Amino acid sequence: MSAMSAEVGYFVPVRTPNIYFKKVCIVKMRMLMVVLRRMALGWVAFAMGQSALAADPARGQVLWNKPGESTINMCSDCHGVTPNQNVKNVWNASGTIASQGIPSVIRGRIAIQRDMFEFASWPDTDLADLAAYINAVRYGKPIAAPTLSNEECLFNWAESQLPSVFNAPAVQVGAISSLNYRLYGAGAVVNALGHNAADSQVWVLAPGLGFAAPTPLGVSSSAGLFAASRAAGCR
């Protein structure tokens, strides 16, 4: 018994602290994993928040009137000139006032709505901007003027300067290869403006101005028109 007692007396004080130490380590490791997991989730939430903040409602406003792959149908055709009337429940994508909209709602509708299939190729960044625009209109948030490309600036300027020829809004906005265009009028008289990104030339179709067939204006003249439209503030 004495030997056994001695043996037990020898091992008990050694084993007990080791077992206790291991349990403490396990508990602390579990706590550390919880903390790390929460930190990771926090970073994900932060990244998602930053992504949402990057959405541009001004660009979404431009996309609202941009045709899909048909080069004809636009969001405004079915949902109104702006989203302010909630036509066909477009506000479902607006989210809360504190958000910048819910682009996944738009993506979901595109996936199941036949007349929206042509927008399936639009990237998530476009849908984020579109949702931000819907959100801004619904809740009355200010929308900064969009930064227009030289092409968009020129087209807008032409519409402002020659409304009888290039009567906005264009009846069709589209692209043929590298040539982007806006088509105006209907019936016997049709006018058009185009810009070929491949060679930076402006194209014009306007019989009343002497351009009976689509005509490129040349690189130099096109550059001059771009400069003039930008100097005039695209108006």
From the list 105, 100, 106, the residue with the least C-alpha distance to 68 is 106
pLDDT tens for each residue of 192-208: 999 999 999 999 999 99
pLDDT of residue 91: 96
Token readout for 82 is 């702006």
- Is the CB of residue 155 less than 8 Å from the CB of residue 182? yes
Q: Answer whether 167's CB lies under 8 Å from 153's CB.
A: no
The confidence score (pLDDT) of residue 147 equals 76
Regions in the chain scoring below 70 on pLDDT: 1-54
Amino acid in position 108:
G
pTM: 0.50
Burial of 132 (0-12, 13-18, 19+ CB in 10 A): buried
Total length of the chain: 235
Could you write out the three-class secondary structure of 97-117?
A: CCCCCCHHHHHHHHHHCHHHH
**pLDDT score of 85:** 94
